[in-house]
Amino acid sequence: MKRTILENETMTREYAKDLAGGLSGGEILALVGDLGAGKTTFAKGVALGLGINEKITSPTFVYMKVYEVNHPTIKKFCHIDAYRLENEQKLIDIGALEYFSNPEVLTVIEWADKIKKILPKSSKLFNFSIKESTRIIETN
């Protein structure tokens, strides 16, 4: 696993923004970690890296938000928050799986460990943890 230590929210956002610049669509970024570990900040950074200028908020109560993207190969950014889900069926019911298999969509899933049964094996895992005032991201 690759380990990255980030000292503040700005560094977390910039790390994710830079990461997004190297993506081409079809990727699923699976974020796992405790409350306050930086998952939403990371998702906001990915959105910035895709050129999305509207305010990004975690879709905790609606489960999923989809944003249009002006990018050569990525047409949509799908942001999912599984925190409140009791099971995967709700995401299936609202059509999330269609985004998972679309090569023109970049998907970021907060609390991805709650939907393991439907999470594609190709998903890139980002494990967030907190140590004092820093955030640590471990990736596979």
User: Domain count of the chain?
Assistant: 1
Q: Which domain holds residue 29?
A: 2-139
Q: How far apart are CA 6 and CA 63, in angstroms?
A: 27
Considering the entire predicted model, what is its pTM? 0.95
For residue 70, give the CATH number of its domain. 3.40.50.300
Q: Is residue 64 predicted with pLDDT exceeding 90?
A: yes
Helices marked H in the chain — which ranges?
9-21, 39-49, 89-93, 96-100
Q: How far apart are CA 108 and CA 131, in angstroms?
A: 23
Work out the average pLDDT over 47-57.
93
What's the gap between Cα 6 and its chain centre? 17
> Residue 37: which of 114, 120, 129 has the closest Cα?
129
Q: What's the pLDDT score for residue 1?
A: 84
Q: Is residue 2 predicted with pLDDT exceeding 90?
A: yes
